[in-house]
């Protein structure tokens, strides 16, 4: 089997194997859905991956075995480095027994596992069947690897972002006085679907008026009134990769305080974007953006944090906040999303997805930023 | 604050407290999303519930605090038994510190936690801040409590099931030769949304022809051909409660083997439904249904397992299979879904949701069962 994506998947596995060799691990048990996708191209459920020094296996059951066999096509099948999908008979074998059998075939003794992606109860069950092995939490090598997107990943996120842009343009006629948050969110989600998004990047956040001040407002029956602030935060999915964008509007003409609020957030975003390039820390970006908010009349209403990486999952490393000392790298894709939230009155947030280039960055989300909507 | 649902939520908390008292627990830490909804009416993310002998708290952060305050309205606020939503400042306090502070205020020493709903890594972080407490996995008291649905829960699932029925009726004109699985799934999901479903009970399973033999087929670009078997498995959500239904059709006239396959599955379902009433075990139902499949010419193609409980989550107790010795109780809602899957040719599954009555049962899913679709 050959696939143009094989070299990408091979490189991902190689990076994990290099880490395993360096830390004395003979095998790694993979359970995070995003890592099953990242390493095996598997998008189903109920699976564990086992990566050994030369071979890898995906253990699932009858419900997902065909899907596993179909999706693992991007895997490197060169001689001696094979991938197999294994179907566990759940009536006959506990999961820990199956994993133990594969690990024994590998001759593995030191085994890493994803402590952040297996529950206390499930790990107690599994590890009871893995006697005689040295089980150690795997460091965050895959989380770190996923920060920098390869060219194919960049394309998928760029496509998702463009899909989100197109959906917002098509949504414009539906933004009218009297529409409910729920109706508008439904319409947007339908547009995303029609345009080809695989689903929603996350449940749409949409708030009118005072509800726009809720950072994670679920769409309600609230109708749009003239003068309302509108916050709309949503994303598309392409081949498992997500986009994440927020636009803020006012229904009709902005009152002076609303305009100043919007301008303040826009300047806070610009302050971060002006610095966004490889070598800067997430903390420095956060400081620059937060300083704009803090110097404004709205200082008491600033939301914490500036943004996050986005990829196979919505919120991933790097997290752009005061704790982020890591220096950003070319190929990372991050959101830049400062916001102001006045409880009982309304909120403004502007969020874009930016790809870090070797020098500077490129904004992937290009939907219009007009604040006032003529209604 | 008063809400007509207060007595229901009070009864749920009381059941947990009775269990805590019986097992010597001073407090319980709740982290499963379905249990945060079941006990607190909370549907957001990033929260921990703390239930003490007389008080309960929901700890979240700035992103979800308004939602928590809004949603906890069904809680009993009678004197001395209060509920509060707490906003943790993530910059200043680790989650374990906040939980430890609330537990200290309760004077708790023995504390139960949901081992199946906290990761090994998160629990290591949290428990490091909970020194001096006896931490014990909570038994599955909430999972068991959720098996039997109260009158309000029954209504929500019945509404979800009726919504699914209406969506399928409205979908009928779109089932035509040449339509792709993905187009048809999109149309169905849009209908569910328009009819008022809060989202999808689960990602729609839809397969034409040979793809109908995949128990969890994700909709693809495969077009509908005359003579194809069609398996369509989907559900609606109302107030967090799910439905789950499968219908199987053939595009046009059935070939004799297809008709026999469908009739066999229908008889297997009837064999289980004929026995479905309080006091029967899940195992006995599974045996009765499996016997029909095993006695048929399609014995080699029978899917394992008969069904499962459905409620706040899609697959919940009781699981109707060979391991289920528990006796079913009035108020439980279970799926009955035997299936035959001939790899490379096609599958047939028929699934309905049934509410166990004091005597007998009631089928909640009433969508038509016509096998042949005139196309």
The partner residue sitting opposite A120, judged by closest CB among B62, B91, B115, is B115
Tokens matching residue B38:
């079941």
B239 touches chain A (CB under 8 A): no
Chain A, nearest residue to B137 by Cα: A121
As a whole number, mean pLDDT of residues B170-187 equals 96
A6-145: in CATH 3.40.350.10 = yes
Q: Prior bond to B318 cis, omega within 30?
A: yes
B196 touches chain A (CB under 8 A): no
| Confidence (pLDDT) at B73 | 67
Measured between beta carbons, which residues in chain B are less than 8 angstroms from residue A91? 304, 322
Contact between B333 and B293 (Cβ < 8 Å): no
Q: Mind listing the pLDDT tens digit for each residue in A270-295?
A: 999 999 999 999 999 999 999 999 99
Average pLDDT, chain B: 93
Q: Which of B239, B260, B240 is nearest to B250 (CA)?
A: B260
A196 touches chain B (CB under 8 A): no
Tokens matching residue A69:
């066999």
pLDDT of residue B242 exceeding 50, the answer is: yes
Question: Cβ–Cβ of B120/A121 closer than 8 Å?
Answer: no
Q: Which of B168, B133, B131 is nearest to B26 (CA)?
A: B133
Cα A299 from Cα A305, distance rounded (Å): 14
Q: What distance, in Å, lies between the first and last C-alpha atoms of chain B?
A: 56
As a whole number, mean pLDDT of residues A147-160 equals 97
Question: Cβ–Cβ of A91/B322 closer than 8 Å?
Answer: yes
Supply the ipTM of this predicted assembly.
0.84
As a whole number, mean pLDDT of residues B3-16 equals 88
pLDDT of residue A147 exceeding 90, the answer is: yes
As a whole number, mean pLDDT of residues A39-68 equals 89
| Confidence (pLDDT) at B82 | 53
- How far off is chain A from B122, nearest CA to CA, in Å? 7
CATH of span B148-373: 3.90.230.10
The partner residue sitting opposite A119, judged by closest CB among B62, B116, B199, is B116
Question: Cβ–Cβ of A64/B216 closer than 8 Å?
Answer: yes
The 3-class SS string of chain A reads CCCCCHHHHHHHHHHHHHHHHHCCCCEEEECCHHHHHHHHCCCCCCCEEEEECCCEEEEEECCCHHHHHHHHHHCCCCCCCCEEEEEECCCCCCHHHHHHHHHHHHCCCEEEECHHHCEHHHHHHHHHCCCCCEEEECCCHHHHHHHECCHHHHHHHHHHHHHHHHHHHHHHHHCCCCCEHHHHHHHHHHHHHHHCCCCCCCCCEEEEHHHHHCCCCCCCCCECCCCCEEEEEECCEECCEECCEEEEEEECCCCHHHHHHHHHHHHHHHHHHCCCCCCCEHHHHHHHHHHHHHCCCCHHHECCCCEEECCCCCCEEEEECCCCCCECCCCEEEEECCEEEECCCEEEECEEEEEECCCCEEECCCCCCCCEECC
CB pairs under 8 A between A and B: 79
Q: Prior bond to A244 cis, omega within 30?
A: no
pLDDT of residue B81 exceeding 50, the answer is: no
Q: Which residue would you say has higher pLDDT here, A61 or A32?
A: A32
Cα A218 from Cα B44, distance rounded (Å): 9
B64 touches chain A (CB under 8 A): yes
- Categorize the per-residue pLDDT at B79 as very low, low, confident or very high, splitting at 50, 70 and 90: very low
Measured between beta carbons, which residues in chain A are less than 8 angstroms from residue B116? 119-122
- How far off is chain A from B238, nearest CA to CA, in Å? 14
Cα B162 from Cα B156, distance rounded (Å): 10
Question: Cβ–Cβ of B62/A215 closer than 8 Å?
Answer: yes
pLDDT of residue B165 exceeding 70, the answer is: yes
Cα B259 from Cα B17, distance rounded (Å): 53
Contact between A252 and A227 (Cβ < 8 Å): yes
Cα A108 from Cα B267, distance rounded (Å): 49
As a whole number, mean pLDDT of residues B107-132 equals 97
B46 touches chain A (CB under 8 A): no
DSSP state, residue B174: G
Question: Cβ–Cβ of A118/B119 closer than 8 Å?
Answer: yes
Measured between beta carbons, which residues in chain B are less than 8 angstroms from residue A118? 119-120
- How far off is chain A from B357, nearest CA to CA, in Å? 30
Q: Mind listing the pLDDT tens digit for each residue in A231-265?
A: 999 999 999 999 999 999 999 999 999 999 999 99
As a whole number, mean pLDDT of residues A190-214 equals 93
B9 touches chain A (CB under 8 A): no
A189 touches chain B (CB under 8 A): yes
A46 touches chain B (CB under 8 A): no
Tokens matching residue B303:
């899917």
pLDDT of residue B1 exceeding 60, the answer is: no
Q: Which residues of A305-327 are buried (b: 16+ CB within 10 A; e: fewer)?
A: bbbbbbbbbbebbbbbbeebebe
The partner residue sitting opposite B115, judged by closest CB among A63, A121, A343, is A121
| Confidence (pLDDT) at A82 | 53
| Confidence (pLDDT) at A231 | 97
Contact between B8 and B152 (Cβ < 8 Å): yes
3-state DSSP: chain B helix, strand, coil percent, rounded to 5? 40, 25, 35
A186 touches chain B (CB under 8 A): yes
Q: What distance, in Å, lies between the first and last C-alpha atoms of chain A?
A: 56
B319 touches chain A (CB under 8 A): no
- Categorize the per-residue pLDDT at A88 as very low, low, confident or very high, splitting at 50, 70 and 90: confident
List all residues 6 or more positions away from A69 whose beta carbon is below 8 Å from its beta carbon.
A85
Contact between A249 and A369 (Cβ < 8 Å): no
Cα A61 from Cα B321, distance rounded (Å): 16
- Categorize the per-residue pLDDT at B238 as very low, low, confident or very high, splitting at 50, 70 and 90: very high
B303 touches chain A (CB under 8 A): yes
Cα A333 from Cα A157, distance rounded (Å): 9
Contact between B180 and B223 (Cβ < 8 Å): yes
Tokens matching residue B329:
């109780």
Question: Cβ–Cβ of B124/A115 closer than 8 Å?
Answer: yes
The partner residue sitting opposite A67, judged by closest CB among B121, B216, B304, is B216
| Confidence (pLDDT) at A77 | 47
B304 touches chain A (CB under 8 A): yes
Q: Where are the domains of chain A?
A: 6-145, 148-373
């Amino acid at each position: 089997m050959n696939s143009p994506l094989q070299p990408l998947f091979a490189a991902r596995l190689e990076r994990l194997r290099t880490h395993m060799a360096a830390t004395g691990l003979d095998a790694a048990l993979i359970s995070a859905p995003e890592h099953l996708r990242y390493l095996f191209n598997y998008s189903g459920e109920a699976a564990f991956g086992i990566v050994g020094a030369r071979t890898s296996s995906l253990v699932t059951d009858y419900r997902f075995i065909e899907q596993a066999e179909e999706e693992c096509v991007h895997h490197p099948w060169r001689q001696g480095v094979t991938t197999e999908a294994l179907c566990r008979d759940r009536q006959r074998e506990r999961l820990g027994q199956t994993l133990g059998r594969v690990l024994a075939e590998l001759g593995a003794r030191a085994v890493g596992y994803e402590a952040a992606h297996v529950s206390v109860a499930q790990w107690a069950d599994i590890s009871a069947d893995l006697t005689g092995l040295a089980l150690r939490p795997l460091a965050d090598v895959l989380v770190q690897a996923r920060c920098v997107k390869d060219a194919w990943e960049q394309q998928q996120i760029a496509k998702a972002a463009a899909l989100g842009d197109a959906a917002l343009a098509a949504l414009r006629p539906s933004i009218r006085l009297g529409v409910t948050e729920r109706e508008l969110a439904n319409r947007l989600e339908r547009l995303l679907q029609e345009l080809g998004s695989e689903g929603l990047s996350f449940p749409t956040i949409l708030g009118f008026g005072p509800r726009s001040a809720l950072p994670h407002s679920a769409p309600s029956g609230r109708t749009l009134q003239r003068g309302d602030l509108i916050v709309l935060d949503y994303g598309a999915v392409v081949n498992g990769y997500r986009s994440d964008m927020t636009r803020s509007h006012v229904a009709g003409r902005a009152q002076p305080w609303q305009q100043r609020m919007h301008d303040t957030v826009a300047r806070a975003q610009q302050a971060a974007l002006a610095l966004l390039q490889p070598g800067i820390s997430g903390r420095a970006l956060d400081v620059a953006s937060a300083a704009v908010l803090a110097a404004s009349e709205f200082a008491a209403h600033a939301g914490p944090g500036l943004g996050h990486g986005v990829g196979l999952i919505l919120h991933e490393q790097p997290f752009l906040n005061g704790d982020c000392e890591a220096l950003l790298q070319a190929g990372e894709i991050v959101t830049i999303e400062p916001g102001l939230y006045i409880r009982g009155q309304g909120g403004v947030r502007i969020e874009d997805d930016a790809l870090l280039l070797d020098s500077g960055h490129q904004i992937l989300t290009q939907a219009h930023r007009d604040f006032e909507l003529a209604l």
